[in-house]
Structure 1
Amino acid sequence: MSKKRQVAVVSVLASSVYLAGCGLFESNEAIDPPQTVSYLEDGEAVETTGEEANPTSSISTEAPEGSVRTDLFLISADGYVVPQSFDLPEGENAAQQALDYLVDGGPITNLLPNGYRAVLPADTEVTVKMDGETAVVDFSNEFATYAPEDEQHILQSITWTLTQFDGVKNVKLSLNGEELTEMPVDGTPIAANGTSRGMGINLLASDLVDITNTKPVVVYYLTQTAGGYDYVPVTTRISSESTNASTEIVQELIEGPAFTSSLVSDFMPGVALVSEPTIADGTLTLNFNEGILMNMEDRIVSSHTLNALTLSLTEQPGIERITIQVNGEMVEATDDGTSLISPVTRPENVNTGSY
């Protein structure tokens, strides 16, 4: 897999953290992790239950009264499907409301971050009903008017937006009441049991070679926006024979995204693990060399590096929080002041900044 090491962008990202809020670590409020998180790999779900949040974490997940914070998966200017968090009005059918907000020209219009667009064609009408753990989505005829090149984006966006809700594991699509076995414009097949997060997201062409002895994992890279940087989930593949998937995921982040992509990584040159990651009671401990540090004297880590590690590794079953060490000694903080004395948990929502 062709990779690029992000040497030139490191200094840019490091300085921009003081100016551009990416929205993951924005305040000094504590985080409450999801009470129940569903991890889907190869179409199968693994349930993990959130525990007490790290009291020193600084991720704000509280929505204003009368609203619910929801991730909507939008299309970026570079053609990636990216979660953006919005405080939507509280209602009886949160899943249907989320898809209503994905319609071009609908209520999302005045809320769209710069460089992002809605994924569903204008005037599309949506109905969402639950059948067990499957969300059954029926679209009006307008749904079939999207551009062929958007088909994968649309399928991923619908699937990942709906499966964030408790109890939704799979998604089935229909057009005017007729179940779809393939997408209506470019013919992407849809499995009989529907789609799930096991389908992946933002699959880059270079990630699709030699899948026989590999398995999919989701890692988070950065994309530059008008307001700073956002975190982009990307499905890549690691060896299915690996005895420690965390090691390979960290290595993917260190090597950075494919050279042909517009994504970037904030890992410093020369960074490496000095020992295998260990996990105990849901906490993954990562022991790096001094290359992980932005500042040797103050022993601080880039907040972008921390966020990418946290988001990527807590996608794995059984990992609920991470802690970072350098040569066996605890790292105390990030460059934006986030304390690392206690393990860092995953936020419920990604890219929660104001635009």
Structure 2
Amino acid sequence: MTHYRLIRRAALAGALALPILTTGCGLFSQPASESIDPPQNSTQNVSADVDNGQVTAVQGDQSQMTLYLRDRNGLLAPITVMSTLGQDEKPAQKALEMLVDGSSFASEIPDGFSAVLPKGTVVKQLDIIADQKQAVVDFSKEFGNYDAADERKIVEAVTYTLTSQPGITNVKLMMDGKELTSMPVDAMPIDEPLTRAVGINLEAADGVDYSTSAPVTIYFSALSPDNEPYYVPVTRLVNRSNNRAKTAIEQLISGPIGDLPLKAVMTPDVVVKNVTKAKDVVTVDLQDDSYQPGSQEPAEMLQAVVLSLTENTGLSKVQIKLNGKSDFVDTNNQSYSEPVTRLEHINAFKS
């Protein structure tokens, strides 16, 4: 049985330290069968405002791409931006260049968000090894000029930004031509290829036992400076269960923890009756006694369920049942009578 590989050094919310471990299997890796590929397109999408890891070309040489940027609360959030690609320029390389603080692309980043890579960092080379779905990126020496407290955020932002690109599921980092086995400032181990199993915006549920814990990544919402809502992913350590996807939705229902200004997307009276997987579809059966047949369910809630389930299972489609039925629509008039795919362009702010 494949176990979770231990992340040997990590910081929770900049304050809570996870144990430092040097060997064994542990918290933040996943079985190979559950690796998270960017979800693929299908005939039905939940919304025009979400992310399935695709880079969609629009209007000539402009492309939409997803960047993981720091918000004003210090959390990383996926933000979809429009950017112009140069001739023969790789979208993945452009995305990394936009992650550099103070870059020439700063005007393309929405207000309230900031890039996390150190100023002056240059992407010297980016190779994509197609058969391994791997991106190997070589940064200039300026990549090592950051505060220790920012180390994990940098790893998370690079990993999640690159794995939002089609055909990339794992990342290797280099600096000035040399492969990194640990980060240059606080020595976070990165001796194995980085995947989304590294987690993002780490936190721990109350009373969790680290020795038997497992991570689930769930999506809450926050407000931009212009009072526009956007989704924020949080990787929460919870006590291990035999149905990780069900646990993820239960944590989504339980809502945010701590003092961060995140907003719950579900009311606490919603119950998860079951979550099952078959082929490429994960089915969740929710019980909501307040739901009136014929009314609309909140789109924000249902989209967060889809994001959370695709993130934790790696499956591309979600069937949502509400009180045993699927003949309902959300407040965006999206029908859920058939399985839906992960939202295409998450957090695409209107300009």
TM-score range, shorter chain: 0.7 to 0.9
Tell me the equivalent position of 1:325: 321
Cα RMSD for the two superposed structures:
2.7
Tell me the equivalent position of 1:223: 222
2:304 to 301, 308, 311: 308
Confirm or deny that 1:100 pairs with 2:97. Answer: yes
SS at match of 1:316: helix
For residue 130 of structure 1, report the CA deviation from its aligned partner: 2.2
Q: TM-score, normalised by structure 2?
A: 0.78
SS at match of 2:231: strand
AA in 2 matched with 1:168: I
Counterparts of 2:218 and 2:107, CA distance in 1: 30
Counterparts of 1:203 and 1:112, CA distance in 2: 24
Counterparts of 1:332 and 1:94, CA distance in 2: 38
Confirm or deny that 1:64 pairs with 2:48. Answer: no
Counterparts of 1:343 and 1:168, CA distance in 2: 25
Q: How many corresponding residue pairs?
A: 310
AA in 2 matched with 1:151: E
SS at match of 1:310: helix
Tell me the equivalent position of 1:13: none
Query: Counterparts in 2 of 1:181-196, with a 5 A limit?
Result: 181-191=181-191, 193-196=192-195
Higher RCO (C-alpha under 8 Å, 6+ residues apart): 1
1:53 to 34, 43, 49: 43
Tell me the equivalent position of 2:5: none
Change in Cα spacing, 1:130 to 1:201, as seen in structure 2 (3 Å) is: same
Counterparts of 2:160 and 2:171, CA distance in 1: 9
Tell me the equivalent position of 1:31: none
For residue 270 of structure 1, report the CA deviation from its aligned partner: 1.4
Question: Contact 1:269/1:291 (CA < 8 Å) preserved in 2?
Answer: no
Query: Counterparts in 2 of 1:225-264, with a 5 A limit?
Result: 225-227=224-226, 228-242=228-242, 244-264=243-263
Q: TM-score, normalised by structure 1?
A: 0.77
For residue 281 of structure 1, report the CA deviation from its aligned partner: 4.5
Tell me the equivalent position of 1:84: 79
Tell me the equivalent position of 1:339: 335
AA in 2 matched with 1:53: T
For residue 301 of structure 1, report the CA deviation from its aligned partner: 0.8
Identity %: 32
Tell me the equivalent position of 1:265: 264
Question: Contact 2:39/2:314 (CA < 8 Å) preserved in 1?
Answer: no
Change in Cα spacing, 1:254 to 1:223, as seen in structure 2 (3 Å) is: same
Post-superposition CA distance 1:133-189 (Å, at most 9, x none) = 332222223222222222111111111111223343332222222332222222222
SS at match of 2:116: coil
Query: Counterparts in 2 of 1:168-187, with a 5 A limit?
Result: 168-187=168-187
Gap runs ≥5 in structure 1: 1-39
Counterparts of 1:213 and 1:257, CA distance in 2: 22
SS at match of 1:276: strand
Change in Cα spacing, 1:217 to 1:334, as seen in structure 2 (3 Å) is: same
Post-superposition CA distance 1:52-89 (Å, at most 9, x none) = 3227x442675423222211111111111111111222
Change in Cα spacing, 1:231 to 1:207, as seen in structure 2 (3 Å) is: farther
SS at match of 2:313: coil
Counterparts of 1:48 and 1:138, CA distance in 2: 23
Question: Contact 2:285/2:324 (CA < 8 Å) preserved in 1?
Answer: yes
Counterparts of 1:94 and 1:197, CA distance in 2: 19
Query: Counterparts in 2 of 1:153-172, with a 5 A limit?
Result: 153-172=153-172
Counterparts of 1:130 and 1:338, CA distance in 2: 39
Counterparts of 2:178 and 2:333, CA distance in 1: 53
SS at match of 1:212: helix
Change in Cα spacing, 1:58 to 1:137, as seen in structure 2 (3 Å) is: closer
For residue 256 of structure 1, report the CA deviation from its aligned partner: 0.7
Tell me the equivalent position of 2:286: 288
For residue 210 of structure 1, report the CA deviation from its aligned partner: 2.3
Change in Cα spacing, 1:172 to 1:320, as seen in structure 2 (3 Å) is: closer
Counterparts of 1:53 and 1:207, CA distance in 2: 40
Post-superposition CA distance 1:196-252 (Å, at most 9, x none) = 22211111255895233232221111122123211111112344441x323211110
For residue 280 of structure 1, report the CA deviation from its aligned partner: 4.1
Question: Contact 1:59/1:347 (CA < 8 Å) preserved in 2?
Answer: yes
SS at match of 2:259: coil
Question: Contact 2:69/2:78 (CA < 8 Å) preserved in 1?
Answer: yes
Gap runs ≥5 in structure 2: 1-27, 51-55
Change in Cα spacing, 1:43 to 1:200, as seen in structure 2 (3 Å) is: farther
For residue 117 of structure 1, report the CA deviation from its aligned partner: 0.5
Change in Cα spacing, 1:140 to 1:337, as seen in structure 2 (3 Å) is: same
For residue 350 of structure 1, report the CA deviation from its aligned partner: 1.6
Counterparts of 1:172 and 1:319, CA distance in 2: 24
